Amino acid sequence: MELDTKTPPYLTSDKSSFAYVSARDRWPVIITQAIDDLYRSVSECDSREKQDDGKKIIEELARLKYEVQHDRKLTPIKDDGGVDVAIYNSELEQLGTPSWFNIPWLYCECYLYRRLHTSFSLSTHWKNYDVFSRQKIKTFRSSRPAVLELAARYRDLVTQMGHDKGKADIDHDEAQKILFLEMCEICLWGNATDLSLLTSLTYEDIQKLQGSEARKASEKNILVNDLEAVYDVLRKAKHAGKKERRVDIVLDNAGFELYVDLILAGYLLSSGLATVVVLHPKSIPWFVSDVLPADFAALLSALADPKRFYETPSDDDKLQDKTPSPLSDKDVVDMSFLFQEWAHMHAEGQLIMRSNRFWTHPGSYWRLPSVEPDLYEDLKTSEVVIFKGDLNYRKLTGDAAWDPSTPFTEAIGPLGPNSGVNVLALRTCKADVVVGLKLGQDEEIRATEGGGGDSGARKWAWSGKWAVVSFSQGK
């Protein structure tokens, strides 16, 4: 597309890329899991008509899996009334209607989820069914220890911040900054598959200006870290007495990641570093785990009644004859505190959800100013727009094969300097594209164990072990 970078995109045909691995190994599994989920829901439902409707979708998904595995040409998205159908189909035509293993990775992966959605939206009884919802809930339940631990810490911090309000000594400012860095890093690692990297933090530690050991340990895996510059922007806006100071979060995954996003949002609001936080979810089931508005509601209701959420045996528990251990009274109080805080912020209009179909378009964010000018104008009014996760980073950089030492500000094209948008990417690396590294840094990591060595593949960037936190000051 003419609006995109001229640097070539990653292709599913490139056998040394994660694009290829992803198309060959992951997509068939993802479609199979969707079929299994739907099969289960179909067999549980009473209405014959609804069952038959569901079976048709199962057949379509099976056909889609066949097409992927047999490298068939992509077919146009059927008209399901979506405003984006023409966008998907005209780009497919421009690409020359290629096959699954010979196509830009970004377009093709978005097409996969859009195509899945069409099967549901054209049905009668399953239009709003989220085929990934079970997986999202299951993962969130399994992160129970980290959820409880963070709830306890969040409650302590917010309570202490309330007591310390008005203190303006330098140590306090410095503590605030360290706390900001910690919160952002928790939010960052919430995007990793390996949650063990989560930092431990106590208010005493922060007041003594000591970052936690765990955070320090994981910090060496953050290859680019521009958080101090972001803190400066927010602090300056606060000190300038600006009345409305908005932070946006372009969300990634539901469950634990959304939970840590809300921890960050709640912290920004409680500390006065922001007065409004706008959350941007997806509008259709997306890349398995991405947040839909319903996931936000589900998270709040889990917090509202944590005993029901965590103590009711899941289907897996029942199969294994297991009963989840009960929550302590303190756990329940901590969770209720979070619920009250966030529900209050939501009700007061400080914590807002704002959907836009742009987030599930197939293209890069280089297209934003031209394709969705209203959204672009809206984002300009934010102090900082935080883009969470890997896919958002791929879209910001056009999922292109940049030299890894290319500055981030250059790789995000029209959203870079003078765009009017302050862009912060919080991303654990789960794909090939990476920018903003020092000269030779990519080669250095490639030479480490599992880094890819001489294979020609940037394997180190595929697993979520490494991260980049890149900021572009657009105004």
Residue 432 has phi, psi (to 5 degrees) of -75, -35
CB under 5 to 8 A by kind: which of Mg ion, ligand F6P, none does 191 bind? Answer: ligand F6P
For residues 246 and 282, which CB has a smaller minimum distance to ligand F6P in the complex?
A: 282
- Residue 287 CB, shortest distance to ligand F6P, in Å, is 5
Q: Which of residues 191-230 bind ligand F6P (CB under 6 A)?
A: 191
Which CB sits closer to Mg ion, 288 or 343?
Answer: 288
Contact 74, 98 (CB under 8 A): yes
Query: Considering the complex, what minimum distance in angstroms separates the CB of residue 311 from ligand F6P?
Result: 29
- From the list 253, 271, 350, 397, which residue makes contact with ligand F6P (rule: CB under 6 A)? 253
Q: Which is nearer to ligand F6P, 287 or 402 (CB)?
A: 287
Q: Is 389 in the site for ligand F6P (CB under 6 A)?
A: yes
Q: Which does 109 bind (CB under 5 to 8 A by kind): Mg ion, ligand F6P, none?
A: ligand F6P
Candidates 154, 287, 342, 358; binder of ligand F6P (CB under 6 A) is 287
The correct pick among 252, 331, 372, 432 for binding ligand F6P (CB under 6 A) is 252
Q: Which span sits near ligand F6P by CB under 6 A: 8-16, 35-43, 298-306, 390-398?
A: 390-398
Which partner in Mg ion, ligand F6P, none is near 397 (CB below 5 to 8 A by kind)? none
Instruction: Give me the helix-helix angle, 256-271 and 329-347, nearest 10°.
Output: 70
Binding ligand F6P (rule: CB under 6 A), the pick from 64, 273, 391, 469 is 391
Q: Binders of Mg ion among 224-253, rule CB under 5 A?
A: 252-253
> Binding of Mg ion at residue 290 (CB under 5 A)?
yes
- Minimum separation from the CB atom of position 392 to Mg ion (A): 8
Phi, psi (degrees; rounded to nearest 5) at 226: -100, 20
Least CB distance to ligand F6P at residue 20 (A): 11
| Residue 180 near Mg ion by CB under 5 A | no
Long-range contacts of 56-59 (CB under 8 A, 24+ apart): 56/123, 57/119, 57/120, 57/123, 57/126
CB 396 within 8 A of CB 390: no
Alpha helices in 122-191 (DSSP H): 133-142, 144-164, 170-189
Q: Find the shortest distance in angstroms from Cβ 27 to ligand F6P.
A: 9
> Of 222, 149, 143, 215, nearest to 182 (Cα)?
215
Q: Answer yes or no whether residue 22 interacts with Mg ion by CB under 5 A.
A: no
Question: Smallest distance from the beta carbon of 430 to ligand F6P, in angstroms?
Answer: 5
- State the minimum distance, in angstroms, from the CB of residue 252 to Mg ion: 4
Interactions with ligand F6P, residue window 110-169 (CB under 6 A): none
Q: Name residues whose C-beta falls within 8 Å of residue 425's C-beta, 6 or more positions apart in sequence.
A: 386, 387, 392, 393, 396, 408, 468, 469, 470, 471
Q: Which does 77 bind (CB under 5 to 8 A by kind): ligand F6P, Mg ion, none?
A: none
Which of the choices ligand F6P, Mg ion, none does residue 22 contact, using the CB cut-off of 5 to 8 A by kind?
Answer: ligand F6P
130 binds Mg ion (CB under 5 A): no
Which residue is associated with the tokens 């862009």?
423
- Closest to 384 in 3D by CA, of 259, 242, 254, 224: 242
Query: Segment 365-394, which members bind Mg ion (CB under 5 A)?
Result: none
287 lines the binding site for Mg ion (CB under 5 A): yes
Binding region for Mg ion (CB under 5 A) out of 68-76, 229-237, 241-249, 287-295: 287-295
DSSP letters along 20-72, please? HHIIIIIHHHHHHHHHHHHHHHHHH---HHHHHHHHHHHHHHHHHHHHHHTTP
Site string for ligand F6P, 400-439 (x = CB under 6 A): ------------------------------xx--------
Tokens 């054209």, located at residue: 122
Strand 423-428, strand 467-472: pairing: antiparallel
What is the bridge-based pairing of β-strands 222-225 and 246-250? unpaired
Smallest gap from residue 201 Cβ to ligand F6P (A)? 23
- Phi, psi at residue 329, to the nearest 5°? -60, -40
Binding mask 250-279 for Mg ion (x = CB under 5 A): --xx--------------------------
Sign of CA dihedral 234, 258, 342, 263: negative
CB nearer ligand F6P, residue 237 or residue 298: 298
Q: Which of 288, 305, 353 is nearest to 136 (CA)?
A: 288
3 state DSSP class of 1: coil
Task: Name the nearest CA neighbour of 268 among 144, 113, 382.
Answer: 382
Query: What is the spatial order of strands in the sheet that 467-472 belongs to?
Result: 222-225, 467-472, 423-428, 384-388, 246-250, 276-280, 351-353
Give yes or no for residue 390 binding ligand F6P (CB under 6 A). yes
Q: Is residue 225 a contact partner of residue 116, using CB atoms and an 8 Å limit?
A: no
Rounded to a whole number of angstroms, the minimum distance from the CB of residue 318 to ligand F6P is 29
> Which residues of the shown chain bind Mg ion in the complex (CB under 5 A)?
252-253, 287, 290
> Which residues of the shown chain bind ligand F6P in the complex (CB under 6 A)?
22, 26, 109, 191, 252-253, 287, 389-391, 394, 430-431
